[in-house]
Structure 1
Amino acid sequence: MITRVEVVARRGPGGRTVLPVVRASGQLAVRRTGPTTIHLVATAFGPLGGDDAEVSLVVEEGASLTVHTVAAAVALPAREGDRPSVQRVRAAVAGALVLAPEPTVVTARAHHRAELTAELAEGATLAATEHVLLGRAGEEPGRWTGTTRVERAGRPLLHTTVALGPGAPGWLPPVAPRAYAATVSVGARLPVATGQDAVRLPLDDGWTATAWGTELHTVVRALAALEGVGEEVA
């Protein structure tokens, strides 16, 4: 299934955010749930292997947008063959964007690829989180590949790819975490910090943090604790 979502956030009268463009087709629908908040709602189960979803977000100067999902995404294997499912988020941001979806669960034999490409103007802010669990309870893990690219004023800030699950080059027991969480934040700098299987590293005018382990709830807690360490750097 091919899914396309397009949302434009613009500063309207009185400084409030308006959404002049909201379009969705395929596996996702969009609902505005607050003054600057939308939720993506799945209209079909999945994604299945071979599904292709692209979410385009434009946040103009003076506007704010927060994007959530209603429930966890459960990635399932293709009915035939071993094609991955793909979700791409492409964001052009001159205002403030927060991406905070529910977790992605990748079931046995499935391969899900997640891509985030964010092009930020000078003065724009971004906070994006990713929570991943490989396999349901009592199930073998699936495979997940996540790529994040962030540019600010045309300059690269971050380009990273993480591959987890059977077949991924760096995923070999005993280094084989089934749960992973990550945050990238641009607009407030924080120093280096480390925790149990967790690390936060500085970016130019931002930071990125990751945590990994066997259970998603413990990984999410470790990431949250790490994000609270240290004060903003001037």
Structure 2
Amino acid sequence: MDRMTAGVKATARIGARDDGRGGTSLPVLEGDGPLALRRTRGSADEARVMLVGAMSGPLGGDHFTVEAEVAEGARLRVGSAAATIALPGQAKGESRYDVRLTVADRGELHWLPEQLISAQGSELYVTTWADVAATGRLVLREEQVLGRAAEQPGRLTSRLTLCVAGRTVLDQELACGPGAPAGWDGPAVLAGHRAVGQLIVVQPKFAAEPVAARVLGDGAVVVPLAGPAVLVSAVAPDALKLRRVLDEALASLG
């Protein structure tokens, strides 16, 4: 497709299955265009996949979609080889990046990509939707950085939705950068910070042992969600500090 006129549409799909021998197989592992998938060395029962950007982007007008499905009893860990940078493009209009995650009973998914950087002049709408069965497990990390070094951010809108056992327990949206609703960088939202992140942990044990709401250091809070799920929200001055805060939060949740 001519990227200059219409942008690029690309989809990557991952399907993880219990192989019946105590491990996890990947019967579906396919990506096209700028979305390449590589299986890496995993553990005895967990498959690992890296998402590799084969082209720059998303640029203006692009639409990327990544889908991961973890079947009953399978375990999957997904990361990315580098940060994703939203850039302005010659094609007009907003770019989109959609992530769709499904975890069946007794399945486990660790979704741990690198940061998304909103470069000056870009316009990106990101959606992440996760559907976890009653006894499924999920660790999901999102990190967004507003602008590169010494650069103003682009327009970034991010929506995060979580369903557990068929019930929506989280549906939130954040808009930042030029054209976003007033106050996005004020004390009630980012308070001047350049990095923002979310960590979701879904564990069946949280149903019997709920996690208490609390503040974690400077700029992070833990909030229990309805059902066996927890949300950690954090802001930080830069990507390095944000990662440190979210890693500490994950360790504290076990």
- Percent same amino acid among aligned pairs? 34
Report if the CA contact (8 A) 1:78-1:84 is conserved: no
Secondary structure in 1 matching 2:21: helix
State the match for 1:11 in structure 2. Answer: 18
> Separation in 1 of the partners of 2:123 and 2:29?
29
Deviation at 1:224, TM superposition (A): 3.0
- Structure 2 spans left out of the alignment, 5+ residues: 1-7
Deviation at 1:177, TM superposition (A): 2.7
1:144-203: per-residue Cα shift (whole Å, max 9, x none)? 211111112211121111222222214144634321121011115322121312111001
**Structural mapping, 1:128-167, within 5 Å:** 128-167=140-179
- Judging changes above 3 Å, is the alpha-carbon distance between structure 1 residues 47 and 222 closer, same or farther for their aligned structure 2 residues? same
Secondary structure in 2 matching 1:222: helix
State the match for 1:32 in structure 2. Answer: 39
The amino acid that maps onto 2:85 is: V
TM-score (norm 2): 0.85
State the match for 1:2 in structure 2. Answer: 9
1:93 to 103, 111, 135: 103
Q: Give the strand-richer structure, 1 or 2.
A: 1
> Separation in 1 of the partners of 2:91 and 2:98?
22
Q: Which runs of 4+ in 1 moved over 6 A?
A: none
2:224 to 177, 202, 212: 202
> Separation in 2 of the partners of 1:224 and 1:40?
20
1:74-107: per-residue Cα shift (whole Å, max 9, x none)? 11013143x2221111112111111000111110
TM-score (norm 1): 0.92
- Judging changes above 3 Å, is the alpha-carbon distance between structure 1 residues 226 and 7 closer, same or farther for their aligned structure 2 residues? closer
1:14-38: per-residue Cα shift (whole Å, max 9, x none)? 1210011111111111110023100
Deviation at 1:222, TM superposition (A): 2.6
Report if the CA contact (8 A) 1:193-1:226 is conserved: no
State the match for 1:21 in structure 2. Answer: 28
> Separation in 1 of the partners of 2:26 and 2:242?
34
State the match for 2:64 in structure 1. Answer: 53
Report if the CA contact (8 A) 2:116-2:143 is conserved: yes
